[in-house]
């Protein structure tokens, strides 16, 4: 799953990242831009895969497999 971390002090936000990478970037941001302030803000989780993952590729593979089975049984 991917996450985007938002700064609680300014408008900074990370890209969609893994949890570990997002936390690291947020800590680095606070250390550089808001020294002495503990990291805050909120975390947004991706409802769908923002990386353009397989999407309906799995469904297409199942349909092709069913068509192949149907063609083999028709002989």
Name residue 42's beta-bridge partners: 6
Position 52 scores a pLDDT of 55
User: What's the CA gap between 6 and 49, in Å, rounded?
Assistant: 19
74: confidence class by pLDDT, cuts 50, 70, 90: confident
Position 55 scores a pLDDT of 62
Position 6 scores a pLDDT of 96
User: What's the CA gap between 30 and 14, in Å, rounded?
Assistant: 12
pLDDT higher than threshold 80 for residue 35: yes
User: What's the CA gap between 34 and 12, in Å, rounded?
Assistant: 11
Number of domains in the chain: 1
14: confidence class by pLDDT, cuts 50, 70, 90: very high
For range 49-61, the mean pLDDT: 66
User: What's the CA gap between 29 and 38, in Å, rounded?
Assistant: 11
Determine the distance from the C-alpha atom of residue 9 to the mean position of all C-alpha atoms in its chain, rounded to a whole number.
Answer: 24
pTM (two decimals): 0.61
Domain of 42? 3-74
């Amino acid at each position: 799953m991917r996450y985007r971390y938002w700064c609680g002090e300014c408008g900074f936000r990370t890209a969609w990242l893994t949890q570990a990478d997002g936390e690291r970037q947020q800590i680095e941001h606070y250390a550089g831009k808001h020294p002495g302030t503990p990291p805050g803000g909120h975390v947004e989780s991706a409802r769908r895969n923002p990386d353009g993952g397989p999407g309906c590729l799995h469904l297409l593979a199942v349909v092709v497999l069913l068509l192949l089975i149907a063609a083999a049984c028709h002989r």
